[in-house]
Amino acid sequence: MHGTGPSKPVMIGFIGAAVVCVIAIAAVVSIATHPSSAHRSDEAITANLDGCGKGWQPTSAGIQTLTVANTSVSGMEVYLESASTGAVYVDLENLGPGVTRSTRVALAAGRYRFVCLPADADPARGPVVTLSGSTSGVALTPGIRPVTRNDLIPAAKAYEDWVQSRLPVLVADAGRLDADVKAGELDQARSDWLTAHLEYETLGAAYGAFGDYDAEINGMPASGHTAADDPDLAGFHKIEAMLYSGAPSTQIAPVTSALVSAAAELEANFPSARVDPLDVGLRAHEILENALQFELTGEADAESGTELATVDANLTGTLAALAPLRGILATRYPQMKQADAAIEQSRTLVESFRGADGAWRPLSDLGRPQRQQLNASISKTVELLANVAAICDVRRAA
């Protein structure tokens, strides 16, 4: 994985510049196929501290078309939640004063209420509305119990501890690479470069906490440049370009020395860094999303042809990011078994492109059907992991 800015987890329904988040795990509600089951709120549902949810008076379960108006003088977030379990079915984020927003959701029979969450005040809960009736044939919107920052802090700490345990390995791997280059053993250097690079590629959920060290260790060339000709590039990709272009060891040695220094400084300074609790769930999805964008297009390759090895390391990194989240996901994500199966299937497929001698086939050696199969497998895995990012998006407890 290559360091990128955090992106917002997948959300359903964009209205202008404002985002409406309909919590959707198993399926996106299909509105057009069930028009007779829809209930529309003719008047806007009020969102304010004195009348949260006022105006919502449905009686039938099924598809609900909701129009919510913030009639207060400050912005707020608005949930539609189960009054019985606290699971959230709609999350209207950043609903500004005077703003009206619409969305649709499919609800089973049960008890529901709106909750208004101003930024500077306690939540206000609306009246409980009871829905009844059959929802046969309607793809219901699953609800999610909100995950708070406090829920994620232990997971982030556990992940930090794991990363800290891997950094000495990274430093040692980089040291071997540096020693190979300085000894003029470039064949061995290529092997040890791959070992060190793959170790770093397993740490993808921590890149945000690495700060500038990420660019020093695993930066990508600037726009308009390759790894070979970018004069400001350092780290693994610069070394890769030099090792695989026939550069002499005397030219490579300063770059490998700088890599060892950066890795050692990262190890020394990481205990004072903090992995953002939001990053763990988000990166569990983004690691393989980036693999699709950079590795499986060949964009990240600097002539080593080790893209598939990197994807394999990214799969390991994904599992490492998921490990501390499993307690949170166990009661919130019913498709976690499918996601795990997709990861395993992807790993099996990627590793099938490795020879009996352990050598990885270059991506360019794969035929079109193999590339399509690989892209489809990783894409399916990314799609399932996008739900992890959405579930672990930090929300206020109502």
Taking only the tens place, the pLDDT of each residue in 28-56 is 333 333 333 445 555 799 999 999 999 99
Q: Which one-letter DSSP state was computed for residue 56?
A: -
Q: Contact, 138 vs 65, CB < 8 A?
A: no
Report the distance separating Cα 71 and Cα 68, nearest Å: 9
What pLDDT, on a 0 to 100 scale, did the predictor assign at position 395?
86
What pLDDT, on a 0 to 100 scale, did the predictor assign at position 31?
30
What pLDDT, on a 0 to 100 scale, did the predictor assign at position 21?
52
Q: Which domain holds residue 284?
A: 149-391
Question: Among residues of the chain, what percentage have pLDDT more than 70?
Answer: 89
The owner of tokens 């008076």 is 57
Average pLDDT of the chain, as a whole number: 89
What pLDDT, on a 0 to 100 scale, did the predictor assign at position 397?
78
pLDDT of 390 above 60: yes
197 and 339 co-located in one domain? yes
Is 19 part of a structural domain of the chain?
Answer: no
Q: Contact, 226 vs 244, CB < 8 A?
A: no
243 and 369 co-located in one domain? yes
pLDDT of 4 above 60: no
Contacts for 2-5 with beta carbons within 8 Å, 24 or more apart? Answer: 2/218, 2/219, 2/220, 2/290, 2/294, 2/300, 3/207, 3/208, 3/210, 3/214, 3/215, 3/218, 3/219, 4/286, 4/290
Is 294 part of a structural domain of the chain?
Answer: yes
Lowest mean pLDDT among 24-33, 100-109, 241-250, 276-285: 24-33
pLDDT of 268 above 70: yes
| 36: CB partners within 8 A, 6+ apart | none
SS3 state at 25: coil
Strand pairing category for 76-82 and 110-118:
antiparallel
What pLDDT, on a 0 to 100 scale, did the predictor assign at position 337?
97
What pLDDT, on a 0 to 100 scale, did the predictor assign at position 109?
96
Report the distance separating Cα 200 and Cα 20, nearest Å: 37
87 and 113 co-located in one domain? yes
pLDDT of 317 above 90: yes
Q: Which helix (H) or strand (E) holds 130?
A: strand 129-131
What pLDDT, on a 0 to 100 scale, did the predictor assign at position 335?
94
pLDDT of 11 above 90: no
What is the rounded average pLDDT of the residues 219-223? Answer: 95
What pLDDT, on a 0 to 100 scale, did the predictor assign at position 9?
31
pLDDT of 307 above 90: yes
Most confident residue range from 6-10, 256-260, 281-285: 256-260
Report pTM: 0.84
What is the rounded average pLDDT of the residues 255-267? Answer: 98
| Closest to 76 in 3D by CA, of 47, 45, 105, 43 | 47
pLDDT of 20 above 80: no
Specify the CATH number for the domain of residue 254: 1.20.1420.20
199 and 327 co-located in one domain? yes
174 and 290 co-located in one domain? yes
Is 142 part of a structural domain of the chain?
Answer: no
pLDDT of 161 above 50: yes
Is 154 part of a structural domain of the chain?
Answer: yes
What pLDDT, on a 0 to 100 scale, did the predictor assign at position 2?
64
Is 3 part of a structural domain of the chain?
Answer: no
169 and 78 co-located in one domain? no
Residue pLDDT, tens place only, 292-305: 999 999 999 999 99
282 and 318 co-located in one domain? yes
158 and 127 co-located in one domain? no
What pLDDT, on a 0 to 100 scale, did the predictor assign at position 356?
87
354 and 327 co-located in one domain? yes
Residue pLDDT, tens place only, 178-214: 999 999 999 999 999 999 999 999 999 999 999 999 9
Strand pairing category for 88-95 and 76-82:
antiparallel
176 and 115 co-located in one domain? no
168 and 304 co-located in one domain? yes
Dihedral sign of CA atoms 278, 279, 280, 283 in order: positive
pLDDT of 83 above 80: yes
Is 397 part of a structural domain of the chain?
Answer: no
What is the rounded average pLDDT of the residues 351-356? Answer: 93
- Total number of domains in the chain: 2
Residue pLDDT, tens place only, 110-156: 999 999 999 888 999 999 999 999 999 999 998 999 999 999 999 99
What is the rounded average pLDDT of the residues 305-326? Answer: 98
Is 141 part of a structural domain of the chain?
Answer: no
Q: Contact, 128 vs 234, CB < 8 A?
A: no
What pLDDT, on a 0 to 100 scale, did the predictor assign at position 1?
63
